[in-house]
Amino acid sequence: IRKNTVAVVTDGTAVLGLGDIGPAAAMPVMEGKALLFKEFAGVDAFPLCVNSQDTEELIRFGEMVGPTFGGINLEDIAAPRCFEIESKLNDALDIPVFHDDQHGTAVVVLAGLINALKLTGKTAADVKLAISGAGAAGYACVRILRSFGIGSLVVCDSQGSIHAGRDFSHNPAKAWIAENTNQEGEQGSLQEVLKGADVFLGVSRPDLLRRSDLERMNPDPIIFALGNPNPEVMPEEAEGLASVIATGRSDYPNQINNVLAFPGIFRGALDARAHEINESMKAAAAHALAGMISEEELSADYIIPSVFNRRVSKQVARAVARAAHDSHVAHRMPKGIQL
């Protein structure tokens, strides 16, 4: 069973919209994740809710169950512990270890942004992008957007902008952000950082911004307010001001939802017998997602495929398997994939 089985591992410390509720209360969410794996990609996923918040114990747990599974999907583990757990398990195991709260979000964000930039005529190198949130999702989004070539990235946490003058010796992820973004050394609140920005990405908490804050941005801004269930700014606040609006919610257009990414990413990785999911595979997934919207279909209300589009996981899986082969982490190549 190993070739088609993924462990969904959590300690229940960062469940979406609920926070630290523990492993028992997190079980229904993990069961839902397993159902999505099966429904959209035919992957047999099994929830493993671990009764420990000790980082070393979670790493050891992953090492011990690794021989049973073809991959491990880490889920709802709080930052910054999630970074160390994923990194050490990737080093220790010969199967993909993927923290979906980080990379699933980042992949879908990049896919949506590719099409939003195309629609508005903006280029990645010329835009300023302000991010609210430097946790798991924020950190991964920074990394993938930086690799994509975004010209200027400024990240804010609850204390304001992250810059080289702040001490992050206790948090390696924020230290990396401070070193690799905000080259102009901007200081101040999120509202101050928004001045002159072309894109806002929110992966933090609700009700941070008002229309007056968005008016500080450059004309026709792109707004990705992904706080869930309530975004950083409601779409109604940005109507008539923003050129493109995306949220994490299903009751508005352009839902940025991880289910567009993780089933296909694992399907492709499993089919290719990849021993990891690397940056090339994540970028390939994002471009495959973006490419599913034709130029004729592309509009302000349609920059990302529907979560119910059955072609999504297949397209993503093919792109991921091909990228795994090209980056030399695949042990085989599925039939029917042109190299």
Residue 118, token pair as written in the block: 């195309």
Query: Is the peptide bond prior to 47 cis by the omega test (within 30 degrees of 0)?
Result: no
Contact 7, 15 (CB under 8 A): no
Report the DSSP beta bridge partners of residue 8. Answer: 47, 73
CA distance 128 to 153: 6
SS3 content of the chain, % helix, strand, coil (to 5): 45, 15, 40
Q: What is the C-alpha radius of gyration for the chain, rounded to an integer number of angstroms?
A: 19
What is the SS3 assignment for 95? coil
121-125: long-range contacts (C-beta < 8 A, 24 or more apart)?
A: 122/198, 122/222, 124/148, 124/149, 124/150, 124/151, 125/149, 125/150, 125/151
In the set 3, 33, 38, 118, the catalytic residue is 33
Residue 263: CB atoms within 10 A of its CB come to: 27
Comparing CA positions, the residue from 317, 260, 295, 273 lying closest to residue 103 is: 260
User: Active site includes 174?
Assistant: no
Torsion angle defined by CA atoms of residues 242, 244, 249 and 253, in that order, rounded to the nearest 10 degrees? 120
**What amino acid positions are annotated as catalytic residues?**
33
